[in-house]
Each structure stands twice: as structure tokens, then as C-alpha cells.
Amino acid sequence: MQQYRLYFHGQDSSIVGRMDFTDEDDASAIAGAQAVCDVCSDVAGSFELWQADRHITTQPPPSGCSSEFERLARRNRNLVQAVERIAGDSRWTLSRSSSLQVRLERVRAGKPG
């Protein structure tokens, strides 16, 4: 498992959230970042993914990727824990994402997207 840092940017390009998580490889980390960013697209307009000082990608949230969040949540519990930490951290604007809160409740309840 490798360590990643994900920055969420608002519509004005300001950082509205940050989370650290582990994943198997860059491709899996990108898929997770896309799904999380899509789920909270009511607040986040794009994301940057880093591994230490290595920039991996900057992307807008891909539309329609939020259904992947539940599947990824089953595969990577660490990702869900990281999302739960940021959702509960009132210092970040991202914690006010209503769509993120709804998705987390569905994951906790074991309900499909």
C-alpha cells in the first residue's frame, strides 16, 4: 500500500479540503479520488492527487463516477475512513458537502448508491 494526499479545490480554485489515504497503486488512487470528488462535487470543482512531492494528476470531478464510491468503499476501507475524517472536520469547506454526507450514510448503512 502506498500513501497519497488528495486536495479538493472549490469553484474559485481555493483548497476546500485535503485528505490522506493509502491505496494499492496510482491507478487505484486516481479512481478513488475521482469517485470521492464526484460525490462531493456540490462543493469541490476539481482535485489534485499527490504522493509525497510527486504530482500525479489534477482533474475536474468526472460526472457519473459517484456510483463507484460504494464499490470502492467495499474494496478500500481506508478510503472511507479518510473520507469520514474530512467530512467531520469543520475546518474544511468540504465538510459541508450535503451529497458527501448522504453517500457516507448509504455506505454506513450498506445501501447501494
Q: DSSP characters for 32-56?
A: HHHHHHHHTTTT-SEEEEEETTEEE
Element (H, E) at 95: none
SS3 79: helix
Tens digits of residue pLDDT in 21-51: 999 999 999 988 888 888 888 998 899 999 9
The DSSP call for residue 12 is T
Note the residue count of the chain. 113
- Would you state the pLDDT for residue 63? 65
Please state, in angstroms and rounded to a whole number, the distance separating the CA atoms of residues 58 and 101: 24
Q: Say what the pTM is.
A: 0.81
Q: Which residues pair with 46 in a beta bridge?
A: 9
Q: What percent of the chain has pLDDT over 70?
A: 89
- Give domain limits for the chain: 2-109
Per-residue confidence band for 2, with pLDDT thresholds at 50, 70 and 90: very high
